[in-house]
Amino acid sequence: MITLENVSKAYGQHVALASTTLAFAARRTTALIGPSGCGKSTLLRLIVGLIRPNSGRVLVDGEALGRDNLNRVRHRIGYVIQDGGLFPHLTAGQNVMLLARHLQRPAEWISSRVRQLVDLMRMPAGLLERFPGDLSGGQRQRVSLMRALMLDPPILLMDEPFGALDPITRFELQEELKRIFAELHKTVVLVTHDMNEAAHFGDSIVLLREGRVVQAGTLEDLLRRPAEDYVRDFVRAQRTTLPPEAQ
């Protein structure tokens, strides 16, 4: 479980996240949605401890994030960003193994964990020998996910992980990830600005606007019991332009 207690973050005069109290359920997927600039990435960065809040505190499984426990808590969190964030000068496999090697996990443990992840991701093993620049966007994101899962963290944070992919790759990876999330039972927070994606993944959905939570609930709650007109407007703005028979 991830909890934010009165957490706020400003950059100079600009409030990126107004004082927010929010809980992300354990072993469930929460989609964090909202228009560009509403504070989604800021919220994720606060949870992973890349930035510090101006007020309030972030608790991960009841433990408040602070300077002394940051590294330890961070190892319990896998974090995937839009372009994958792989190191270009390391092979895919070296990227995946980097942290475990840094933490001096035994070589046998590392290779057996990589084999598990290769199976989980249905990844052709040869791909791990390649450099990120020699992988497709979809393959890079699979490698990023493997890297994030290497230490088998209970929490997985994903910041628009499909944002840079073409529609077919995107669709395939969405399907694949849904299967993987169901298998792994992790606490997942997935950032998106796409309502369909939020509906596809989210056991619950948190809608942000201009640094504050407009509504947190199920898709059904947002559709049938919108907390504000903005919820309705946001949903309507995302309607598909295709006729129903084509969907």
State the residues that interact with Mg ion by CB under 5 A: 41
At its nearest, how many Å lie between ligand ADP and the CB of residue 162?
A: 15
Please, which residue, 20 or 95, has the CB nearer to ligand ADP? 20
Please tell me whether residue 36 binds ligand ADP under the rule CB under 6 A: yes
Please, which residue, 35 or 66, has the CB nearer to ligand ADP? 35
Please tell me whether residue 41 binds ligand ADP under the rule CB under 6 A: yes
Please tell me whether residue 38 binds ligand ADP under the rule CB under 6 A: yes
Residue 170, CB half-sphere, CA atoms under 13 Å: how many?
Answer: 15
Residue 215, CB half-sphere, CA atoms under 13 Å: how many?
Answer: 21
At its nearest, how many Å lie between ligand ADP and the CB of residue 34?
A: 6
Out of 3, 27, 37, 99, point to the residue binding ligand ADP (CB under 6 A).
37
Report 9-28 residues binding ligand ADP (CB under 6 A). Answer: 11, 14, 16
At its nearest, how many Å lie between ligand ADP and the CB of residue 158?
A: 12
Out of 4, 20, 31, 39, point to the residue binding ligand ADP (CB under 6 A).
39
- Locate tokens 């109290």: which residue? 21
Residues found in the chain: 247
13 binds, among ligand ADP, Mg ion, none (CB under 5 to 8 A by kind): none
Asked whether the beta carbons of 35 and 41 are under 8 A apart, the reply is no
8 binds, among ligand ADP, Mg ion, none (CB under 5 to 8 A by kind): none
At its nearest, how many Å lie between Mg ion and the CB of residue 244?
A: 31
- Locate tokens 């919108």: which residue? 226
Taking CB atoms, the residue at the shortest distance from Mg ion is: 41
Report 100-159 residues binding ligand ADP (CB under 6 A). Answer: none
Out of 20, 29, 30, 42, point to the residue binding ligand ADP (CB under 6 A).
42
The Cα 27–Cα 144 span in angstroms is 21
At its nearest, how many Å lie between Mg ion and the CB of residue 212?
A: 16
Q: State both tokens at 246.
A: 């084509």
Residue 237 neighbours by CB under 8 Å, 6+ apart? none
Number of neighbours of residue 60 by Cβ within 10 angstroms: 22
Identify the sign of the CA torsion 181, 200, 40, 84.
Answer: positive
Listed ranges 34-42, 92-100, 101-109, 170-178: which one lies at the site for ligand ADP (CB under 6 A): 34-42
Alpha helix stretches (DSSP H) within 103-157:
107-120, 137-149
What DSSP character marks residue 65?
P
The Cα 79–Cα 235 span in angstroms is 27
Residue 111 neighbours by CB under 8 Å, 6+ apart? none
Binding site for ligand ADP (CB under 6 A): 11, 14, 16, 34, 36-42
